[in-house]
Amino acid sequence: MSKLYRARYALQLQVRCAALLPYGLTMSATARSPVLPYLFACVLGVFAIAGFWYGLGQPVILPDAATPTHKLQCASYTPFDKDQSPFDQPFVPRVERMDADLALLATRFECLRTYSQTGLEQLPELARKHGLKLMMGAWVSSNAQATAEEVKALIASANANPDVVTSVIVGNEALLRKEVTAPQLVKLINQVKSQIKQPVTYADVWEFWLQHPEIAPAVDFLTIHLLPYWEDDPAGIDQAVKHVAQIRQVFGNKFAPKDILIGETGWPSEGRQRETALPSRVNEAKFIRGFVNQAEQNGWKYNLIEAFDQPWKRGSEGAVGGYWGLFDADRQDKGILDLCPTFRTGPSGWDLVWHCS
Amino acid sequence: MALFLSTLVVGGRARSTRSALLLPALGAIAGCSVVAWAQLASVTSRYAGEWLWAGILLGLNLIVLTHGALALGQKDGWRERLFNVLERRAGWWLAAAGFAGAVMMLGLVFEPRYRSFPSAALLLPALVYLLRPVRGPRRELGLLAFIIGAGIPIQLYREGLDNQQAWGWALVCVLMVAALWRSLRIR
C-alpha cells in the first residue's frame, strides 16, 4: 500500500465512521480532539450572547418624577397617531385617539402645550372634559395666508375657552427656521395681544432670544427651548441639567421682571450619539427626573418635550427626532416618569428584554 | 440564540481544534451583531428605500455567516455544494460589504448630523474576511479600502473623541479595511 493510498483509505474510514457516530466521536485522532474545545466554545458563546443582551436589559433604579398624587406641569402634545403626520393632506384628526391621549396625560400633567390650530379644533373641549389646561400655539410660517388663518383661529379659540386656555404661543422656532423677521413677529404678537385676555408669548431656542432682543418687550413672558442634546456644543447627560440651570439663570437675570417658561426641554431615548450626549431610555429618565426635581426646587415654569414619540419627526431630524416622547408611539409607558424602575440601557432601544410592567 | 444554533447546525461537525473554537464564536458574534443591526434598522428606517437597504445588509450578513460557518465546518453533501457556490462568489460578498461600508462612511463624513452609526451591520463581514481573506476584484477592493480608510480619521474628528459610538464605527472600519487589504494581497 503506497503512502498516498494509505492516507486516502484512512480518510475514507474516518468519514464513514463519522457518519455512524454522534458529533465529534469519530475514530481519528484529529476529529476526536475538538469535542472539548467545541463544548467549551459553545458554553462561552452562550454566555457571551446572554451577557450582551442581559447587559442591555439591566435594570436601573431612579427616583420618581411624577406619581398619581403629584402631577407635573406641562407637556408638548401633537394629535398624530403612530401612522399620521402633519404632512398628511388633508389631515383628518382621530377624535377617539385624542380623547384617549388626554385621558392618559391627565393622570400625569396639569397642562398641555400645542403648536398649531390645524386638527385641534376639538382639543379645548377634550381638555375641559379631562381637567387639563392648555398653552395653545399658532403655527407661524413663511406662508402669510396660512399664518393669518392660524392666528385667527388661535384668537377665536382663546376667547371661546378662557377657562381652559391659560396662555397662547404665537409662533414656534420661526426665527430659527428664518421663516419670519423679528418685526413681522412682533406685529403678529401685538395683533394677538390686542384681541385676547390671556398672556401672549413666542417660543424659540434660547440663543434666538439673545440674537433678537426686540421680541422680549412684546411678549408677556419668554418661552425658551433648552435641548442639551441639540446644542452646538452638546452636553452629556451628567452635565445636561446643570447646563439647563445655567441658561435659565442667565435669562432670569437678563429679562427680569418678565417671567421665563422653559418651553421645551427633554432628552431622546433613541438615535445617534452627539459628542458625549447619548440617547437612551435611562438617560431620558435621568434627565427628566433630574430636571423636574430642580425645576420644582427653584420654582421654574416648564413644559416637557414631549408627550408621545412622533415617528414622522424622523423624516427631518433623523432617527432621534422620533423618540422624545415620555410614552411611545403606541402610547405605552416608556418608564420615564415613574412606576417602572426597570430600564433597558444601551445605544439602541429594543423591547425584547423590556420588563416594564 | 437562534442564530447561534443555526450557525452550529450549518457548520456541522468541527474538523479541527481551531474550527471547534471559532464556529461557536462566529455564532455568538452573529447572535449579537446581526440582531443589533436588525434593531437599529427598525428604529431608524423611515422609507421603503431605507428598509430595503437595511434588509439587503441583513441578507448579506446571513450569507457571510453561512459562508464562514461552512468554511469552518464539515465539507460533504449539501454543505460542500453550498460552500462551493458561496466560495465561488466570495469576492462579491466582500465587495458588497466594502461597498456598503464606503457608502455609509461617505454619509458619516459629509452629512453626519442625522445618521446613526451602522457598526453592527459590518462587524461580521469584516471579521470573517479578515480572518479568511478571499479573492475579489482588486482595483475595486482597493478603492473601497481607500474610501473607508480615509474616512476614519475625518469622521472621528467631526464627532469628537468623546463619542463612543463613533469609536465603535472607527474600529469596525479598521477591521473592514484590514479585511479588504488582506484580500487584495491574495494572488
**Where residue A231 sits, what CATH number does that domain have?**
3.20.20.80
Residues A19 and A104 in one domain: no
Question: In this structure, what DSSP letter does residue A258 have?
Answer: S
Contacts of A49 in chain B (CB under 8 A): 1, 4, 28, 31-32
Mean pLDDT throughout A218-227?
97
Nearest CB to A18; choose among B13, B17, B43: B13
Indicate whether A187 belongs to any domain.
Answer: yes
pLDDT at A66: 62
Structure-block grid coordinates of residue A212 = 433678537
Residues A194 and A157 in one domain: yes
The mean pLDDT of chain A is: 85
Residues A120 and A251 in one domain: yes
ipTM for this prediction: 0.89
Mean pLDDT throughout A312-340?
88
Q: How far is B15 from chain A (nearest CA, A)?
A: 6
A315 inside 8 A of chain B by CB: yes
The nearest alpha carbon in chain B to A323 belongs to B43
Residues A180 and A264 in one domain: yes
Per-residue pLDDT reduced to its tens digit, B117-165: 999 999 999 999 999 999 999 999 999 999 999 999 999 999 999 999 9
Asked whether residue A23 carries a pLDDT value surpassing 50, the answer given is no
Asked whether residue B115 carries a pLDDT value surpassing 90, the answer given is yes
Per-residue pLDDT reduced to its tens digit, A137-174: 999 999 999 999 999 999 999 999 999 999 999 999 99
B24/A49 Cβ within 8 A = no
User: Which pLDDT band, with edges at 50, 70 and 90, does A20 fall under?
Assistant: very low
Indicate whether A62 belongs to any domain.
Answer: no
Per-residue pLDDT reduced to its tens digit, B26-85: 999 999 999 999 999 999 999 999 999 999 999 999 999 999 999 998 888 899 999 999
pLDDT at A207: 95
Structure-block grid coordinates of residue B64 = 457571510
DSSP A133-158: EEEEEE---S-HHHHHHHHHHHHHHH
pTM: 0.85
Contacts of A347 in chain B (CB under 8 A): 165
Per-residue pLDDT reduced to its tens digit, A109-127: 999 999 999 989 999 999 9
pLDDT at B110: 95
Q: Which domain holds residue A119?
A: 72-353
- What is the percent of chain A where pLDDT is above 70? 83
Per-residue pLDDT reduced to its tens digit, A263-302: 999 999 999 999 999 999 889 999 998 999 899 999 999 9
Asked whether residue A39 carries a pLDDT value surpassing 70, the answer given is yes
User: Which pLDDT band, with edges at 50, 70 and 90, does A35 fall under?
Assistant: confident
Give the range with max mean pLDDT: A2-16, A77-91, A170-184, A277-291. A170-184
A24/B14 Cβ within 8 A = yes
Indicate whether A127 belongs to any domain.
Answer: yes
CA distances from A26 to A98, A311, B14 (A): 68, 56, 11
pLDDT at A321: 95
Indicate whether A202 belongs to any domain.
Answer: yes
Contacts of B25 in chain A (CB under 8 A): 41, 44-45
Backbone angles phi, psi at A167, to 5 degrees: -160, 165
pLDDT at A67: 61
- Interface probe for B, chosen from A42, A309, A320 (most Cβ of B below 10 Å), is A42
Contacts of A309 in chain B (CB under 8 A): none
Contacts of B65 in chain A (CB under 8 A): none
B25/A41 Cβ within 8 A = yes
- Interface probe for A, chosen from B8, B13, B42 (most Cβ of A below 10 Å), is B13
Backbone angles phi, psi at A98, to 5 degrees: -65, -35
Indicate whether A20 belongs to any domain.
Answer: yes
Residues A15 and A149 in one domain: no
* B64, B127 contact by CB (below 8 A): no
Residues A81 and A32 in one domain: no
Contacts of A46 in chain B (CB under 8 A): 1, 4, 28
Mean pLDDT throughout B7-34?
90
* A170, A202 contact by CB (below 8 A): yes
pLDDT at A291: 93
Contacts of B4 in chain A (CB under 8 A): 45-46, 49
Residues A132 and A260 in one domain: yes
Residues A97 and A229 in one domain: yes
Residues A82 and A128 in one domain: yes
User: Which pLDDT band, with edges at 50, 70 and 90, does B11 fall under?
Assistant: confident
**Exposed/middle/buried for residue B156 (C-beta within 10 Å: 0-12, 13-18, 19+):** middle
pLDDT at A89: 83
pLDDT at A68: 56
**Domain count along chain A:** 2
Indicate whether A119 belongs to any domain.
Answer: yes
The nearest alpha carbon in chain A to B42 belongs to A350
Contacts of B40 in chain A (CB under 8 A): 348
- Interface probe for B, chosen from A280, A316, A348 (most Cβ of B below 10 Å), is A348
Residues A175 and A26 in one domain: no
Q: How far is A311 from chain B (nearest CA, A)?
A: 8
pLDDT at A4: 41
**Domain count along chain B:** 1
pLDDT at A32: 56
**Exposed/middle/buried for residue A164 (C-beta within 10 Å: 0-12, 13-18, 19+):** buried
Q: Which amino acid is at A263?
A: G
B115/A314 Cβ within 8 A = no
A17 inside 8 A of chain B by CB: no
**Exposed/middle/buried for residue A277 (C-beta within 10 Å: 0-12, 13-18, 19+):** buried
Residues A178 and A234 in one domain: yes
DSSP H or E segment with residue A74:
strand A72-76
CA A260/CA A159 separation, integer angstroms: 24
Close Cβ partners of A138 (under 8 Å, ≥ 6 residues apart): A116, A117, A147, A150, A151, A153, A154, A168, A169, A170, A171, A192
A11 inside 8 A of chain B by CB: no
Residues A155 and A285 in one domain: yes
Indicate whether A63 belongs to any domain.
Answer: no
Q: Which domain holds residue B93?
A: 2-184
